[in-house]
Amino acid sequence: MKALTVMVLTLAASLFSISTVADTLPREARVPGGLAIVPLGEYATRPEVHYNGKPVLTIQQDAQWIALVGIPLGVTAGTQSLDIKPGNANKQQISFDITSKEYESQYITIKDDRKVNPYAQDLERIQKESTEIALALRTFSSEREVPLVFRYPVEGPTSSPFGLRRFFNQLPRKPHSGLDIAAPTGTPIVAPAAGTIIETGDYFFNGNTVFIDHGQGLVTMYCHMNSIDVKPGDRVDSGTPIGTVGMTGRVTGPHLHWGVSLNDARIDPSLFLSKP
pLDDT for the residue numbered 256: 98
- Cα(230)–Cα(264) distance, integer angstroms: 23
Q: Residue 19 pairs with which residues in a beta bridge?
A: none
Calpha distance 70→54 (Å, rounded): 10
What is the DSSP-derived secondary structure letter of residue 102? P
Q: Give dist(CA 246, CA 224) in Å, integer.
A: 6
Sign of the C-alpha dihedral computed for residues 194, 199, 204 and 207 taken in this order? positive
Q: What pLDDT score does 254 carry?
A: 98
Residue 41, SS3 per DSSP: strand
What average pLDDT values come out for the chain (276 residues) when binned by 10 residues?
Answer: 35 40 82 97 93 97 94 96 88 95 92 92 96 98 93 96 91 92 98 98 98 98 98 98 98 97 98 82
Q: Give the C-alpha separation, 171 to 166, whole Å.
A: 8
Handedness of CA 199, 200, 202, 205 (dihedral sign): positive
What three-state secondary structure class fits 272? helix
Please give the span between the terminal C-alpha atoms of the chain, in angstroms, as a whole number. 43
Amino acid occupying residue 121: Q
The dihedral over CA atoms of 226, 230, 231, 236, expressed in degrees to the nearest 10, equals: -140
Torsion of CA 213, 69, 173, 102, to 10 degrees: -140
